[in-house]
């Protein structure tokens, strides 16, 4: 049996995972991938029906990280300034003052992003990509741990502005929470008796300041073997050449995929990636960015995973070990 000593980092992550699992009963996978996205410095797109806990999850996450939380309810009349902030003239000082918008929070929940106009969507997505906003020719940096959870309602598409593929590519993953199992729903109801949501939200942060950044840097240093990179490229190439795929994985998507695989390996307690990490993150990573002829890309993704050969586990690679 391998040695399994714990570290403060792994303890923190375990605590965070526990808290989020408490908030979102029976959705360990979703929580896991939220953590993967967080550690991979990516942003998350949740496509699900209302009332499944998206806002609660985001709030609990912000609380656990000790970060500010902001929520935007996207509507068609939402302006870019409502997201980024705007300058207002102060009568007293006779100067324009910049009022930060919700985008300056560390954890931002953008509900029903597909309801905002394309112009407003672009403002948010630009902030996600560059981690800065420009208002009145003035550049404002966003927090280093800026993390966006955007949501979409899969039903009720009337009057919406679906995100184009180029902008969907900015999200690391697309997840769907789904309805809880009856047993988990019963637990949730039991926990809600005599308790309020604020209990979790007002809890002490788990991560000290800058700890998240350190973790993200460690994740970035998780070892990725060259053959696994070849495997990633083979998978990406397969998505680009498939007849039923109109838009394959972009190089940015491959980079994101590698980063999420590193985060998955890190959460698994390893400092090296294995093919299973790549396969485990394939569905959420590819689902957000693959353009397919059908509605659901899941069967195609499974086809890629089953047909592209994994790297060979052989002795020649093991010979080049360094001591």
Subset of residues 2 to 31 that bind another protein, contact rule: CB under 8 A = 2-7, 9-11, 14-15, 17-18, 26-29
Secondary structure of residue 302 in the 3-state scheme = helix
Secondary structure of residue 46 in the 3-state scheme = strand
Which residues in 258-292 are b (16+ Cβ under 10 Å) and which e? bbbbbbbbbbeeeeebbbebbbbbbbbbbbbbbeb
The footprint of another protein on residues 124-183 (CB under 8 A) is 175-176, 178, 181
Classify strands 245-247 and 138-141 as parallel, antiparallel or unpaired: unpaired
Element (H, E) at 126: helix 118-130
- What does the per-residue mask of binding to another protein show for 75-114, with x meaning CB under 8 A? ----------------------------------------
- What does the per-residue mask of binding to another protein show for 242-271, with x meaning CB under 8 A? -------------------------xxxxx
The footprint of another protein on residues 181-240 (CB under 8 A) is 181, 218, 221-228, 230
- Residue 136 or 204: the one with the smaller Cβ distance to another protein is 204
Q: Which of 280, 288, 290, 292 binds another protein (CB under 8 A)?
A: 280
Binding flag, residue 67, another protein (CB under 8 A) = no
CB under 8 A: which stretch of 77-85, 141-149, 191-199, 275-283 binds another protein?
A: 275-283
Q: Outline where DSSP puts E strands in 19-154.
A: 44-47, 69-73, 85-90, 95-100, 107-111, 132-135, 138-141, 147-152
Instruction: Give the closest residue to 223 by CA, choosing from 187, 265, 254.
Output: 265
Binding flag, residue 294, another protein (CB under 8 A) = no
Binding flag, residue 54, another protein (CB under 8 A) = no
* Minimum CB distance to another protein, residue 121 (Å): 23
- Residue 1 or 137: the one with the smaller Cβ distance to another protein is 1
Instruction: Give 229: exposed, middle or buried? Use CB within 10 Å, 0-12, 13-18, 19+.
Output: middle
């Amino acid at each position: 049996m391998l040695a399994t000593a714990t570290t403060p980092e792994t303890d923190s992550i375990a605590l965070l995972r526990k808290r989020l699992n408490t908030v979102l009963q029976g959705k360990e996978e979703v929580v896991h991938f939220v953590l993967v996205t967080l550690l991979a410095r990516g942003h998350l797109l949740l496509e699900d029906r209302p009332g499944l806990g998206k806002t609660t999850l985001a709030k609990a996450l912000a609380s656990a990280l000790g970060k500010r939380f902001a929520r935007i309810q996207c509507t068609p009349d939402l302006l870019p300034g409502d997201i980024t902030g705007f300058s207002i003239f102060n009568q007293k000082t006779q100067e324009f003052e910049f009022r930060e918008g919700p985008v300056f929070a560390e954890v931002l929940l953008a509900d029903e992003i597909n309801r905002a106009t394309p112009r407003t969507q672009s403002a948010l997505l630009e902030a996600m990509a560059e981690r800065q906003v420009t208002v009145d020719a003035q550049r404002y940096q966003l927090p280093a741990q800026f993390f966006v959870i955007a949501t979409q309602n899969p039903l009720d598409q009337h009057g919406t502005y679906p995100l184009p593929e180029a902008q969907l590519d900015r999200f690391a993953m697309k997840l769907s929470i789904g309805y809880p199992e009856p047993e988990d729903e019963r637990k949730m109801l039991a926990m809600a008796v005599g308790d309020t949501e604020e209990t979790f939200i007002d809890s002490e942060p788990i991560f000290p300041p800058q700890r998240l950044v350190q973790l993200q840097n460690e994740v970035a240093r998780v070892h990725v073997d060259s053959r696994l990179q070849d495997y990633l490229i083979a998978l990406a190439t397969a998505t680009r050449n498939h007849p039923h795929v109109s838009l394959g994985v972009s190089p940015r998507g491959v980079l994101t995929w590698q980063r999420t695989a590193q985060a998955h390996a890190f959460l698994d307690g390893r400092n090296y990636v294995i093919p299973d990490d790549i396969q485990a993150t394939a569905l959420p990573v590819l689902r957000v960015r693959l353009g397919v002829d059908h509605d659901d890309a899941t069967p195609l993704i499974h086809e890629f995973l089953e047909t592209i050969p994994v790297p060979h586990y052989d002795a020649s690679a093991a010979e080049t070990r360094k001591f």
